[in-house]
Chain A
Amino acid sequence: MPLAPVRWGFLVLVMLLAACAPSSNAQGPVVRNRIVYGLTLMPSGFDPHIHSSSELGIPLRQVYDTLVYRDPTTGDFVPGLATEWTVSEDGLTYTFTLRQGVRFHDGTTFNAQSVASNLERITDPATASQRAAFLLGPYLNHRIVDEYTIQIVLSEPYSPLLDALSQVYLGMASPTAFGQYSLNRYQFHQIGTGPFMLVDYVPGDHLTLRRNPDYAWGPPFYTEPNERSVDEIEFRFYEDEASRSLAIESGEAQVMGELPPIDARVLTGNADIRINPVAVPGQPLQFIINTARYPTDNLAVRRALLYGANRNAIADTVFQRFSPIAWGPLSANTLYYNREVINAYANDTGQALALLNQAGYADNDNNGYLDFAGVDLTIDVIVPPWGKIPEVAQLLQDQWRTLGIRVNLKPVPTRGALLEEVEKGEYNLVAYYSFGVDPALLDEYFMSNAPFNWSNYSNPDLDMLLTEARRQLDPNARRDLYAQAQRLIMEEALILPVRDYVNLNAVSASLSELAFDAYGWYPLLNNLQVAGG
């Protein structure tokens, strides 16, 4: 019977031994400025030309350079691997003059042929690109003019092309590496021209970047590296929400994204950690309202739902006041955001009730719910599990319940299930959002023939505004068109915007200069430094 005590003793011994190991390394001299950066999702693949997650760009954005960049403060396009570019009169041909003296991490020289190889790889059907190919829109082909000049030819005018070319999905990779590694192997051996090089990628475990010592062709907002610059970054995957704040508190990670708001609130009291909330441009968290189904086919009911929603209460509780309230179809830091929508349909239960009464709803049977023709006012809401949507939907259910509206929540487990539920058409509201800087993303949701026209709204005026804005190259004209589109969407109450998406980052106080690019998700790792002093 001495078996059990022996096992116990062994276990304790192992624990003691292991306990000694990490504490002895922890105090050693720092050879490099190395940090651990916590990612929150394990992308199924890490090839930016093939895969589509936002998460992959967090490390890879700075492994690659793009032809153009968006300035993080102004949002304007600035030179990247292309020093200048011109657009033909008809908007169909973009001519890029490429930077000379740029070398990929494997020594390959960057030139027009490199750009051509990248475009060919992305648009090849065999690549089965999940995002990059679609970002190119009406891309037709390319033309190499000379070693450092290339043209991109479109089949129709498409103003978001530069936006596409400034994203990591169209990062320029080494054609030599394409030849060396098969389509699905390349992701483990990525070669770009950026300020960081991919050292290794072990799926599910980590991805390591090291500074590229030869880098000398960054966009204007990349700072010169110095002795305090971070030069090695290990990315780890903290998929479980609860593990994130624990990792940053214990010092296992120095940067962590997507903290749950409650944990972020708790960490604000910790002097060793800073909370860095970054609003991500695109669509806010919104409930798209179905105009083709009773009772939300009635504009008065849609408006009453908006007036009856107390977004302050939601922002205070679910998002712990880290997120700005959303008022329109675009987040406030998205290009051409129309400030006129601010405070549209601010919480006003009196107004909501008046609208419903005018529409003929009253509690005739005294059951606590408004009714019309003997039927209670009932709405069905499709609720996906991500982005704290279930919590938001529950609060809305309560808020609308006090107005006398019965709310059925229909939870769906996955995106696929969400699409299938929408396909059935038996919903009044469905929660969704997407990211991007260029408001052309509205096309996907609000054009009459859009794949995600979940409001089932069809209006030639709105179609015309969005189509014209997509073709138009003049920024002022685009701004004006999108302003009208945003106003129209809110006048028709096609959505209930809730809050701008905010990535709640936690940063160790030992780091400084953590900033993010115009797209919100991607840190400017190049500028990251260990704190001085």
Chain B
Amino acid sequence: MPLVRRILWAAIVVWLTATAAFIALRLLPGDAIAAQLMDSGADAAAIQARRDALGLNDPWTVQYIRFLAGLLRGDLGESLNSGQSVSELIAFNLGPTITLAGAALAVAIGLGLGLGLAAALPGWRIVGGAARFAISLGLSTPIYWTGTLAIYVFTVQLALLPSGGAGRLSQLILPAAVLGFHTATGVARVVQHSVQSAAGADFVRVARAKGLPERHVWLRHVLRAGLLPVTTVIALQAGFLLSGVVITEALFVRPGLGRLLLDATLRQDYPVVQGVVMLTAVMYVAVNTVADLLNRLLDPRVRV
């Protein structure tokens, strides 16, 4: 049963990620509670008492077992800073992030295919050049730069779109377009390359030798073969999307998992970081599993 095996593997990947996050957080220098109480006037005894109450003075092994036991019960613990349950924090921030990531992914697929094809198809000289320029621009500039520029142009200068917040559609457009654009260029690069190499493949030469019209050669043979890797690359770009969300949310002043993760990391809020990392791992593994299964359906060669 390949499906069962895949799911089992996925579970192992998630467990390994959770363990890695657990260890990495504890290797970071500094103590969350000492930092939290730094300007409060708390003395060493008060800090120790607080750590005791939170179980942070227990050996790592005990904390790790408690963490795993909690996971099995579906309990991700409580934030060291706000005292809110991690599940609640995640549930609250998940919606805006899914919305942003989903919209950006839609932009990325559309724009990625468009740019990639424009850059690959013969005869579109100016459009192709522009597409190749856009791809290079997206790949070589950080989200931060494009995002700031987009806010400057569309919000400050043209006053067309709001730059911050979440909830309304107009607030989604700029961040989704910026994050989508950067995700798209990764997709486009693969599309361009894959279509170009398919165009030079033997079966295309055979098709032409058979006397098929050029239109036919492109639609039936080149594109069919050339676009197959797209599902895989889109799944891989999901990882880029999830990391891009951190910067995009900060820049566009949106709530979401990215900002939750960033703030929690800076405050060494172990339970929150662990929870978000776990969830990210689950999402990443899920997307890739689905992409693999889809590929199996679309590409007869994989099934062989």
Q: Which single member of A8, A204, A414, A444 contacts B35 (CB below 8 Å)? A: A414
Give chain B interface residues in 243-279, CB to chain A under 8 Å: 250-256, 259-260, 263, 266-269
Given contacts A130-B40, A236-B165, A246-B151, are A7 and B114 in contact (CB under 8 A)? Answer: yes
Binds A, one of B5-13, B42-50, B68-76, B287-295: B42-50
Rounded to whole angstroms, the CA-CA distance of A23 and B161 in the bound complex is 9
Q: Give the Cβ gap from B258 to chain A, nearest Cβ, in Å.
A: 10
Q: Give the Cβ gap from A484 to chain B, nearest Cβ, in Å.
A: 23
Give chain A interface residues in 189-243, CB to chain B under 8 Å: 202-206, 236-240, 242-243
Q: Are B169 and A18 in contact (CB under 8 A)?
A: yes
Q: Are A1 and B223 in contact (CB under 8 A)?
A: yes
Rounded to whole angstroms, the CA-CA distance of A5 and B30 in the bound complex is 53
Rounded to whole angstroms, the CA-CA distance of A1 and B114 in the bound complex is 9
Rounded to whole angstroms, the CA-CA distance of A418 and B28 in the bound complex is 12
Given contacts A184-B82, A418-B30, are A23 and B253 in contact (CB under 8 A)? Answer: no
By beta carbon, the residue of chain A nearest B78 is: A184
Rounded to whole angstroms, the CA-CA distance of A18 and B162 in the bound complex is 10
Q: Which single member of B41, B92, B268 contacts A134 (CB below 8 Å)? A: B41
Rounded to whole angstroms, the CA-CA distance of A246 and B152 in the bound complex is 7
Q: Which single member of A19, A22, A414, A420 contacts B266 (CB below 8 Å)? A: A414
Q: Are A417 and B114 in contact (CB under 8 A)?
A: no
Binds B, one of A107-115, A247-255, A499-507: A247-255
Q: Does residue B164 face the partner (Cβ distance < 8 Å to A)? A: yes
Given contacts A14-B173, A135-B41, are A23 and B111 in contact (CB under 8 A)? Answer: no
Q: Are B253 and A238 in contact (CB under 8 A)?
A: yes
Q: Are B30 and A417 in contact (CB under 8 A)?
A: yes
Rounded to whole angstroms, the CA-CA distance of A39 and B34 in the bound complex is 25
Q: Does residue B36 face the partner (Cβ distance < 8 Å to A)? A: yes
Q: Does residue A419 face the partner (Cβ distance < 8 Å to B)? A: yes
Q: Are A3 and B148 in contact (CB under 8 A)?
A: no
Q: Does residue B170 face the partner (Cβ distance < 8 Å to A)? A: yes
Binds B, one of A42-50, A67-75, A146-154: A42-50
Give chain A residues whose Cβ lies under 8 Å from the Cβ of B136.
Answer: none
Contact with B along A167-205 (1 / 0, CB 8 A): 000000000000000011001000000000000001111
Q: Are B38 and A247 in contact (CB under 8 A)?
A: no
Q: Which single member of A3, A7, A10, A444 contacts B41 (CB below 8 Å)? A: A444
Give chain A residues whose Cβ lies under 8 Å from the Cβ of B161.
Answer: 15, 18-19, 22
Give chain B residues whose Cβ lies under 8 Å from the Cβ of A19.
Answer: 160-161, 170
Contact with A along B173-205 (1 / 0, CB 8 A): 100010000000000000000000000000000
By beta carbon, the residue of chain A nearest B272 is: A44
Rounded to whole angstroms, the CA-CA distance of A526 and B36 in the bound complex is 31
Rounded to whole angstroms, the CA-CA distance of A276 and B222 in the bound complex is 63
Rounded to whole angstroms, the CA-CA distance of A419 and B30 in the bound complex is 6
Rounded to whole angstroms, the CA-CA distance of A45 and B219 in the bound complex is 57
By beta carbon, the residue of chain A nearest B30 is: A416
Q: Are B173 and A15 in contact (CB under 8 A)?
A: yes
Q: Which single member of A44, A417, A451 contacts B81 (CB below 8 Å)? A: A44
Give chain A interface residues in 117-150, CB to chain B under 8 Å: 125, 128, 130-131, 134-135, 137
Contact with B along A24-46 (1 / 0, CB 8 A): 00000000000000000010110
Give chain B residues whose Cβ lies under 8 Å from the Cβ of A3.
Answer: 110, 113-114
Rounded to whole angstroms, the CA-CA distance of A52 and B41 in the bound complex is 11
Give chain B residues whose Cβ lies under 8 Å from the Cβ of A373.
Answer: none
Rounded to whole angstroms, the CA-CA distance of A137 and B161 in the bound complex is 50
Q: Are B117 and A203 in contact (CB under 8 A)?
A: no
Q: How many A-B Cβ pairs are below 8 Å?
A: 195
Q: Are A242 and B170 in contact (CB under 8 A)?
A: no
Give chain B interface residues in 185-239, CB to chain A under 8 Å: 219, 223
Rounded to whole angstroms, the CA-CA distance of A314 and B106 in the bound complex is 48
Number of A interface residues in the complex (CB < 8 A):
63
Q: Which single member of B41, B44, B165 contacts A205 (CB below 8 Å)? A: B165
Rounded to whole angstroms, the CA-CA distance of A45 and B165 in the bound complex is 19
Give chain B residues whose Cβ lies under 8 Å from the Cβ of A414.
Answer: 28-30, 35, 266-268
Contact with B along A414-435 (1 / 0, CB 8 A): 1111111100000000000011
Which one of A18, A183, A420 has the greatest number of beta carbons of chain B within 10 Å? A18
Q: Does residue B4 face the partner (Cβ distance < 8 Å to A)? A: no
Given contacts A131-B40, A184-B83, A246-B156, are A417 and B28 in contact (CB under 8 A)? Answer: yes
Q: Are A240 and B82 in contact (CB under 8 A)?
A: no
Q: Are B31 and A243 in contact (CB under 8 A)?
A: no
Q: Give the Cβ gap from A471 to chain B, nearest Cβ, in Å.
A: 16
Q: Which single member of B35, B49, B96, B254 contacts A419 (CB below 8 Å)? A: B35
Q: Does residue B166 face the partner (Cβ distance < 8 Å to A)? A: yes
Q: Give the Cβ gap from A220 to chain B, nearest Cβ, in Å.
A: 29
Rounded to whole angstroms, the CA-CA distance of A137 and B148 in the bound complex is 46
Q: Does residue B304 face the partner (Cβ distance < 8 Å to A)? A: no
Q: Are B31 and A250 in contact (CB under 8 A)?
A: no
Rounded to whole angstroms, the CA-CA distance of A22 and B79 in the bound complex is 37
Rounded to whole angstroms, the CA-CA distance of A237 and B96 in the bound complex is 15
Q: Are B110 and A239 in contact (CB under 8 A)?
A: no
Q: Does residue B93 face the partner (Cβ distance < 8 Å to A)? A: yes
Rounded to whole angstroms, the CA-CA distance of A51 and B83 in the bound complex is 10
Q: Are A252 and B53 in contact (CB under 8 A)?
A: no
Give chain B residues whose Cβ lies under 8 Å from the Cβ of A421.
Answer: 29
Give chain B residues whose Cβ lies under 8 Å from the Cβ of A483.
Answer: none
By beta carbon, the residue of chain B nearest A444 is: B41
Given contacts A18-B161, A134-B42, A444-B41, are A412 and B29 in contact (CB under 8 A)? Answer: yes
Given contacts A1-B219, A243-B163, A243-B253, are A42 and B263 in contact (CB under 8 A)? Answer: yes
Which one of A135, A249, A434, A451 has the greatest number of beta carbons of chain B within 10 Å? A451
Rounded to whole angstroms, the CA-CA distance of A51 and B36 in the bound complex is 9
Rounded to whole angstroms, the CA-CA distance of A483 and B40 in the bound complex is 24
By beta carbon, the residue of chain A nearest B219 is: A1
Q: Does residue B283 face the partner (Cβ distance < 8 Å to A)? A: no
Given contacts A240-B253, A451-B43, are A45 and B170 in contact (CB under 8 A)? Answer: no
Q: Are B81 and A45 in contact (CB under 8 A)?
A: yes
Q: Does residue A11 face the partner (Cβ distance < 8 Å to B)? A: yes
A-B contact pairs, 30 of them (CB 8 A): A1-B219, A4-B118, A7-B113, A11-B111, A18-B170, A22-B160, A22-B162, A45-B81, A51-B82, A52-B39, A128-B83, A183-B83, A203-B93, A203-B255, A204-B256, A204-B259, A236-B164, A240-B250, A243-B163, A246-B151, A246-B152, A246-B163, A250-B159, A252-B163, A412-B29, A415-B38, A416-B31, A417-B30, A420-B30, A421-B29
**Which residues from chain B sit less than 8 Å from chain A, CB to CB?**
28-32, 34-44, 46, 49-50, 53, 79, 81-84, 89, 92-93, 96, 106-107, 109-111, 113-114, 117-118, 144, 148, 151-152, 155-156, 159-170, 173, 177, 219, 223, 250-256, 259-260, 263, 266-269
List the 10 shortest-distance A-B pairs measured between CB atoms, nearest first: A416-B30, A204-B255, A7-B110, A4-B114, A44-B81, A415-B35, A45-B82, A134-B41, A416-B35, A417-B29
In addition to A4-B114, A18-B170, 20 A-B residue pairs with Cβ atoms within 8 Å of each other are: A7-B113, A11-B111, A11-B177, A23-B160, A44-B269, A45-B81, A50-B83, A130-B37, A130-B40, A131-B41, A184-B83, A204-B92, A204-B93, A206-B165, A240-B253, A243-B250, A250-B151, A413-B29, A416-B29, A421-B29
